[in-house]
Chains A and B, each alone.
Chain A
Amino acid sequence: MNRSDNTTRYWRSLNDLEQTEEFQGMMATEFPGGPEEHWTASTRRRFLQLMGASVALAGATSCRWKEETIRPLATRDENRVPGTPKTYASHLTLGGFAQGTLVTAFDGRPSKIEGNPKHPESLGATSVYAQAATLHLYDPDRSRGIARMAGGEQDSDLASFEAALKGVMDKASGTNGKGLAVLAPPTSSPTINRLRGRLLSKFSEATWVSYSPMSRDNEVDGCRLAFGVSARPYYRMDKARVIVALDDDFLQDGPSALRLTREVASRRKPENGWMNRIYSVEADFTSTGAFADHRLRMRSSDIGRFVVALRAMVEGKDSSEFSGKAHQVLAAMAEDLRANKGDVCITCGPNQPAAVHAHVQALNVYLGNADRTVAYLPATAVGSPLKEVQALVSAMNGGEVSSLVILGGNPVYDMPADLEFGAALGKVETSIHLGQYRDETALACTWHAPQTHELESWTDALASDGTLSIGQPMIEALWDGMADTELLSRLFGEKTSAHDAVRETTRLDDKAWRVALHEGVVAGSAALPLNVKLGQLPEIPAAASGLEVRFVTCRTIADGRYANLGWLQELPDPMTKLTWDNAAMVSFATAKSLGLQHEGMARLTVAGRTLDVAVFLMPGHADDSITLALGYGRTAAGHVAGLNDDWVEPVGFDSYKLRGTDSMYLATGASATSTAGTYRLATTQDHFAMDEIGRKGLEQRMPNLVKEGDVSTYEKNSKFAKDAPDFWGPEVTLWQEVEQTKDPDHRWGMAIDLSSCTGCGTCTIACQSENNISVVGKEQVLKGREMAWIRMDRYFVGSAEEPSAVSQPVGCQHCELAPCESVCPVGATVHTSEGLNDMVYNRCIGTRYCSNNCPYKVRRFNFFNFNKDQAKAGNEVLQMAANPDVTVRSRGVMEKCSYCVQRIERARITTRNVDRSIFLPDGSVKSACEQACPADAISFGDLMDETSKVSKDHANDRTYSLLAELNIKPRTKYLARIRNPHPSLAVAHAAAEEGVHHG
């Protein structure tokens, strides 16, 4: 492009020859903007050839060229069939780390997120958060443009915003950056970190503070204390025979949760050889605790003591620190750890202080786990120490910060309450907020610019193992959003696009870049483990007595960033089954001693800060401990989670108001008093406090509904799950069975392994996204009208104090003799020859008889037009989140799981087009729940194909049908859950099993 050389050259246009400013400007960008003749057909064809025919390779076609998105498809590209989905590799980040995704887009419109099997921290699975990303993208409450916030919100334009940025930079240039501060969430993104370095080197006096309200940085601090280096433990659990989770919900929390779930679950199948044994010592009842073979409830404050005692016991000394069950578990745990040195794994959760983490890692090293089940990787995405955050706030208060750039995040809402960040922000002359919503922070700043969603912009980030992945935009930014990298580049007076910035960071050549985009990961970029050496361990501070308050990330809306996503608000918490709220989780005994009532109100006090919050009596919660989920009580989130400006009440209670810099994850010395009033909490399952009759009935039937056994039971009789209760009659049928009368091409079936299922609920959200399932709202959930097609049933076993719990996903079982079909007066639910129980929406008149006759109660009725909001002015964008292959149901019709029939048909069409074959190889049809499941607990496929995974699962000894005695022949079968208790604790467990089951 540079015309400094005088050699003869060809020119493309007069502008080129002249090298006009316009032309140079156009060429400076990777993909030139402007009229479409610059982008000729031949170059595109060449381009596509280069990309190859591979669907995913075409990923780069989704880059943000204005031409691509605004040009009508008057002439169709080769191989492009309108309405055919294309899949692109990308990623989504949470907590600064990437999880690889494959994004399905219809005609340039992303509508479904799947995991990227090639990404080390996805392995094909996704989290609930990732599943909801499409809804996030199309959230109508997202900010729709630049606004000047000082003196009242006022829409503005890019030019004025850039002028404001220029003002900031001009001022900073004069002072070498003094008075300029950037507040951003911690991230592993090499580009952001590069630009950060560049900014700090240009302005040596500027400050950059990273803050996230939900970090796992205590483990980094712990490693620093133990090893003297900044490292993060990276667990590998597929080889771990014994896993000890200390106050750590590692199956749900943290950047490796998906991979760890897969690894742990892979060793929970008794027919595949040895099973791991999981111990969980935790305060609240988490999925990890429910999944564990042994769970010990313990205040977070006492975990430090526990670690010390465990270390002593592992070293062969006896410890009298604990007594009773805790001591038994401790002894068993120590014995297991000793016996399996090097093949064990101990994790520690974010609520634990750094010192405890240091001791846990020291124990891991002591047991020889380092480089076997745990590696120490250089810490990335680390937030600034709290001191720096405090320093920034005091500088803001002192008027030393004249310009603050907030790059995403919502600090006004989620900073510790004692910092009073909002007030400090008011003292900053120019505060610029880049965010997806005009949220609490935006309202308190002087400028706001809409931030692109990760599906709208080029990003890069590392997986927790250090593997680099590139996030591709799937769609032109909906609301003229600006990427964080783009705003940063403007701080240098440049207008580098996010694409160029990322490309510049990665330094990959064209081919490597395309491969990286296609694969979704940059091969071989994983970090090398550090060689760590144990140093002097710090003392674990003495456990504070009295009431503690634990702050945890919400399992459905994270730290509040996803609060406005109805899917996630309505996703029941894995353990409490609570929707649309958070609450103070408290044990029965503590509630009694504090005088708290379930669904009553309590006033919590921590260091002078108070919060009035609803109380939830949680079975199995540690005594003298209260768990509060963060992320609720938003006042400027949007029309779903709370918007003061539009009279939308906040959903839930703002736990941040109770959080202080001294009590980020754990507040000790708290107090709680009962206050007047009650509060209705919308749970999707009856709470533990059920009447005696109901409890007895539940207790009696549970062993036949969720079949469980110990390894010893399994070894004695591997087919124990097939044992039938006495009252089952002979199987006689009145109807001629459909599949005998026709010759089907396939027999679709599903198998769900309860031994692997962790109850996380990803299947529910995956299904919601795939099948356009409506959100109904808290009032309707209270009435029992939630719409989930696959729900996660959770049952407690044992007493209210020491229960264990099981999860069971239940969707339509596609009975061969479906009771729903015979009772429909209009034949709106019918059987296909392939065994699907089809629901014909247009035929349904809504008698709801099918639901009455469904023993699983998996049918869902549209009591209202739950999609009405999508038609409202301004909300139309929500319609884009819908899967075009699935009907959006109208009011008054019944709906239910279809076994993802649209995916079956899609695969059938594709296969027939390719080779005219009716054979669909196993894996060519994956149901949405199966595809998203991190534990690989669900298999779906053709039962006629004896080699398919589902056929093998159906042939498994552990397989049973739910409610088989009704002789309805469900096509979904369950595999009994097998526990692997320590022999010394197995007796105790068996005794508990004899005890009561509760719901």
Chain B
Amino acid sequence: MPEVTMENTMVVPSAPPEETRAERLRNFWSDYCQSWVAVLALAVIAVLLFVSFGASLVSPQDPYDMAALDWLDAFLRPGTEGSGGYVHILGTDNAGRDMLSAIFYGLRTSLMIGLSAGALALLVGISVGLTAAYFGGRVEGLLMRIVDLQLSMPAILLALVLVAMLGQGISQIILALVVAQYAYFARTTHGAAKVERGKDYIEAARSTPLPTRRVLFRHLLPNVLPPLIVVATVQVASAIALEATLSFLGVGLPLTEPSLGSLISNGFKYIHSDRYWLSIYPGLALMVTVVAINLVGDQVRTVLDPRNSR
């Protein structure tokens, strides 16, 4: 019945112009740029990523190479020229290691641990949260009570116990951080998924019927991701801080593969002998990293918040 179709087409107001993916991205970016602090934080993160993952290119010395270290260079003050013939901008430590290089390499370890722990915790958390929210009942009760239990203890305590049990090493630390942190992702996922689960589009998908796997991953998951992006940034920052804490307490990484935490820990021993640069500068680097990531996460949250949309 073509005439019927025509009549119906004519009375429908035309839809607003299509917004392409590129345009949405551009809108997101212009919203993001509303805060210059956040832009600065993003720039800082970019610089930190560059100097850490390109540490071998930008640092004057390889702090892992014991042969390159000279005992005579130990405890040089910031700005002194060492036996290598270059100025140690941030001084050297007790083994004659250039602090700037050590910080770059340490940052690399810290970021690597933070990012991989964050990503893995995100995966585990999403699985737990989605399963709980979608299936409900006893499964939900059990999973979420475990999560609640974990959230009621300090993450650092849990990580400390785990590292003590698992032993030292990068993968052990990552595992400990994942176990300590997945609960935050699980709870956020669960909360968001519970809301979306009750909406009609999930019911429509289920009653079509579509396979459960498809409903979970094509319908439910994409709609709970935005809040998780925000949690993820914050959790990466806190994973870095947690790792630093573990290393500072002496259960993290040894000084031969320095992270920021182990550098601070090492320098802390000399802080009373007026050799402040050993711990202050890695501490500053850690602080700048964590604050920058948190600022970016905050701004992303603000932009993604539908209540702030224009």
Verify that A and B bind, or say they do not.
no
Interface residues in chain B, defined as those with a beta carbon under 8 Å from any beta carbon in chain A: none
